[in-house]
Amino acid sequence: MRVLVTGSAGFIGAALTERLLARGDQVQGIDNHNDYYDPSLKEARLARFANHPNYTHLRADLADAEALNRLFREFRPERVANLAAQAGVRYSLKNPQAYAQSNLVGFINILEACRHHKVEHLVYASSSSVYGANRKLPFAVEDAVDHPVSLYAASKKANELMAHTYSHLYDLPTTGLRFFTVYGPWGRPDMSPILFADRIVRGEPIDVFNYGNHSRDFTYIDDIVEGVIRTLDHVAEPDLNYDATQPNPGASNAPYRVYNIGNDQPVQLMHFIELMEQSLGRTVEKRLLPMQPGDVPDTWADVSALRRDVGYTPNTSIEDGVAKFVKWYREYHHIA
């Protein structure tokens, strides 16, 4: 299969690309290598497969519609995994423009290119953050009450709404995956696992928000990649019960789906920190602080819909996942 992976130098995009190449797909990657976090980590991720004969890389921005169209014309992707985005809840309070550029303008360009080049299936990254705070646990897409509490979350909810219009107006099959706190080797330095590991290794205190009462449905990268590939492979049947009278008369019934992709096993953040400390062989002070603006206290994914439709079964325990993450962290940073 010819698969376009956007954000292929990113944490999830690189892991996905590696697995697609391993199973024999032809992969075109695109990434703007922005400096939201250390770009050398992106280069190191890319180095794992940059010379693979079935991989081609383009350094460009999704907001550049012309470059994107040229790429679609030349590569003619059958499936697209859109993982490029400006990620991060806290940064969206500081730099909202970056979210508009990558997550809105960039996403429209992806939708337009997929529509005009008749892509068979667009799978794109949404986020658990669209649910918002104080929601019934576990989170289920079917509950359909989303209250994004950050611009990042709002941009991901907007992606779901935008994809919906392209599915029903232009017959474009789209699937949104709401990722839940992904962790593992080659992870993101702005996310808690690496932030905690850095602090523990340096013997510095860890800031724990919401006075340590957070829980997160940490999901191991290999489980996520398996789920994304199963989703890419599965183009849902058109929904014959689709109500074409609303919101748009005469709309098609092209498949439009949104799923949770999590672990269905939330972990108390304090327990996660303890596991990291055990694995790194050192304990540090925890500074208990109030909740941060835009943050949510708990996340927990109901994954039954993705299990039912594509056989998604996350099976990495938090203990194994943390051990594998720490092994990589030590090697990457040359820590004995």
Instruction: Identify which of residues 44 and 270 has a Cβ nearer to ligand NAD in the complex.
Output: 44
Q: What is the DSSP letter of 10?
A: S
- Which residue shows structure tokens 């050192």? 282
Q: 10 Å Cβ neighbour count for 293?
A: 10
Any contact of residue 85 with ligand NAD (CB under 6 A)?
yes
CB of 14 to ligand NAD, least distance (A): 8
Instruction: Identify which of residues 29 and 255 has a Cβ nearer to ligand NAD in the complex.
Output: 29
Beta bridge partners of 261: 179
Residues 162-201: x/- map of binding to ligand NAD (CB under 6 A)?
-----------------x-xx-----x-------------
Q: Taking CB positions, which residue lies at the least distance from ligand NAD?
A: 10
Dump strand ranges (E) for 211-321: 215-216, 219-220, 256-261, 267-268, 286-288
Instruction: Indicate which single residue of 63, 140, 169, 195 sits in contact with ligand NAD (rule: CB under 6 A).
Output: 63
Q: Which two tokens stand for residue 62?
A: 């999704």
Any contact of residue 213 with ligand NAD (CB under 6 A)?
no
- Which residue shows structure tokens 């059958």? 78
Q: How many residues does the chain have?
A: 336
Single out the residue of 155, 126, 158, 120 nearest to residue 139, CA to CA.
126
Instruction: Identify which of residues 131 and 179 has a Cβ nearer to ligand NAD in the complex.
Output: 179
Of 58-66, 111-119, 135-143, 234-242, the window that binds ligand NAD (rule: CB under 6 A) is: 58-66
Any contact of residue 314 with ligand NAD (CB under 6 A)?
no
Task: Name the catalytic one among 55, 131, 152, 256.
Answer: 152
Q: If binding means CB under 6 A, how many residues of this protein chain bind ligand NAD?
A: 28
The span from the CA of 277 to the CA of 279, in Å, is 5
Instruction: Indicate which single residue of 5, 21, 80, 83 sits in contact with ligand NAD (rule: CB under 6 A).
Output: 83
The span from the CA of 72 to the CA of 77, in Å, is 6
Instruction: Identify which of residues 41 and 251 has a Cβ nearer to ligand NAD in the complex.
Output: 41
Name residues contacting ligand NAD, limited to 17-36 (CB under 6 A). 30-34
Q: Decide if 152 is catalytic.
A: yes
**C-beta of residue 91 within 8 angstroms of C-beta of residue 293:** no
CB of 75 to ligand NAD, least distance (A): 15
- Which residue shows structure tokens 């919401």? 210
CA distances from 46 to 5, 9, 31, 59, 203 (A): 12, 6, 10, 11, 31
Question: How many CA atoms does the CB half-sphere of 132 hold within 13 Å?
Answer: 14
Instruction: Indicate which single residue of 106, 148, 173, 321 sits in contact with ligand NAD (rule: CB under 6 A).
Output: 106
Q: What are phi and psi of 125, to 5 degrees?
A: -80, 120
Instruction: Indicate which single residue of 17, 28, 92, 102 sits in contact with ligand NAD (rule: CB under 6 A).
Output: 102
List the catalytic residues.
152
**Interacting residue ranges for ligand NAD, rule: CB under 6 A:** 7, 9-13, 30-34, 42, 61-63, 83-87, 102, 106, 125, 127, 179, 181-182, 188
